[in-house]
Structure 1
């Protein structure tokens, strides 16, 4: 079952903190083509494909999607942002072909920095810090023969009303939108979220997956496996199926 794409605005509790919306993005986006640790098990139901796997749930792209994703074909998306190192490996499978690896797909990702801010936006009530002129923590890669892409990034921070997450948009090789979704992180004792501890903000006021407006109906198909440490860096792996 597809989820609601429009969610209520969320306000920061402290007057001095940035005000962010958990989701106010478009239901769909126009395709842009280009040439170029532990996991949990809570119940969610995706849309069954004609193959042997289940299509990943559709989620809102949020209020801060990449404006021109074809301009950021790159694997290292840090752009000088500091934080605990995070290697992100995403595998895309075709639900219409018995879950075979989907080669040649375009995969866009974007997420907030250690303070909970996004690039390309800001200077408004949604995000006080103005990062309109920079493009950190955004990138595009093309899946290889194994259906995989890998990004070098930093561990995301968090902001009011949302659990730690990464946005993902998958397109076909010709630029047709196949899936907009989000990656969830394992939580609790011994997880990377606990080790990072919200960076300088700590985890006081943090929204868990169970209370998050996007993830509260279950994250079984969106929960990544995250291993590593704050000293050695973290490794995230996640697979999703799309109807291609």
Structure 2
């Protein structure tokens, strides 16, 4: 499919795709920037060793595939610094994260990730922001792996497919945080606990940029968790 036709199709798909219920909340739009009057660009981060190989084929809201774990939804609001942090409609948003055991799809069979998931595409997805600058995804709460705190990868493009920002979303931590609760939930398959966990403060990605990369989380293990986060780009 030619690039222009794909982008046209992608936009139509986004209009038809229902967002999560959280996407209708006007309060969330202002949570990270406009409410305080601060319009700082979100920090750029590495895409990591496991970026999505063919994101254009993964236009979807529910990115779970066959992965199981604590229910988790997340809503991202994209704002445009060039327009005083107004909502950015029509931005293409790719997301990806590991499963409850710390594994990524599309990779494996190597020293970096011995478990081989090269032929599957779980926990990866793409959407286009609506008029409020929002996209929403249904997933499972990410696990963790050695050297990294719990996180979500995000790559944002403009409507023409030009890259605007690659970044990551951090999770709040603490004794009663969602991260601690989930990783204690052996009934849901989270078997690592927190022993050996790398905190945000010790994570070489988040240590110097946590303030504008950390999401807000509500919910419970029983009912699932919901994360909201605002990302500011220059478009």
CA drift of 1:83 comes to: 0.5
Pairwise CA RMSD: 1.2
Q: Tell me the residue number matched to 2:217.
A: 226
Q: Are 2:114 and 1:123 aligned?
A: no
Query: Post-superposition shift, 1:52?
Result: 5.7
Matched, 1:134 2:139: no
Contact persistence 1:79–1:136 (CA under 8 A): yes
Structure 1 window deviating more from structure 2 (159-168 vs 191-200): it is 191-200
Matched residues in 2 for 1:223 and 1:97: separation? 23
Structure 1: runs of 5+ lacking an equivalent: 1-32, 37-50
Contact 1:93–1:239 (8 Å) recurs in 2: yes
Partner in structure 2 of residue 159 of structure 1: 145
Give structure 2 stretches of 5+ with no counterpart.
Answer: 1-5, 11-36, 185-189
CA deviations on 1:15-55 (whole Å, 9 max, x unpaired) are xxxxxxxxxxxxxxxxxx7430xxxxxxxxxxxxxx96111
- Would you say the 8 A contact 1:183–1:222 is kept in 2? yes
Normalising by structure 1, we get a TM-score of: 0.79
Partner Cα distance (2:39, 2:220) in 1 = 32
1:79 equivalent to 2:65? Answer yes
2:203: which partner in 1?
A: 212
Matched, 1:238 2:226: no
Kindly indicate whether the alpha-carbon contact (under 8 Å) linking 2:43 and 2:209 is maintained by their aligned counterparts in 1. Answer: no
User: Size of the alignment, in residue pairs?
Assistant: 198
CA drift of 1:216 comes to 1.1
Does the 8 Å CA contact 2:62/2:137 hold for their aligned counterparts? yes
> How far did residue 218 of structure 1 move?
3.4
Please give the TM-score of this superposition, normalised by the length of structure 2. Answer: 0.82
Secondary structure, aligned partner of 2:152 = strand
- C-alpha separation in 2, matches of 1:179 and 1:67: 17
Q: After TM superposition, where is structure 1 displaced by more than 2 Å over at least 4 residues in a row?
A: none
Partners of 2:57 and 2:209 in 1: how far apart? 33
More helix by share: 2
- Alpha-carbon deviations, 1:117-137, whole Å to 9, x = none? 000000000100000000000
Task: Identify the match of residue 92 of structure 2 among 97, 103, 106.
Answer: 106
Residues 143 and 183, structure 2, Cα contact 8 Å, conserved in 1: no
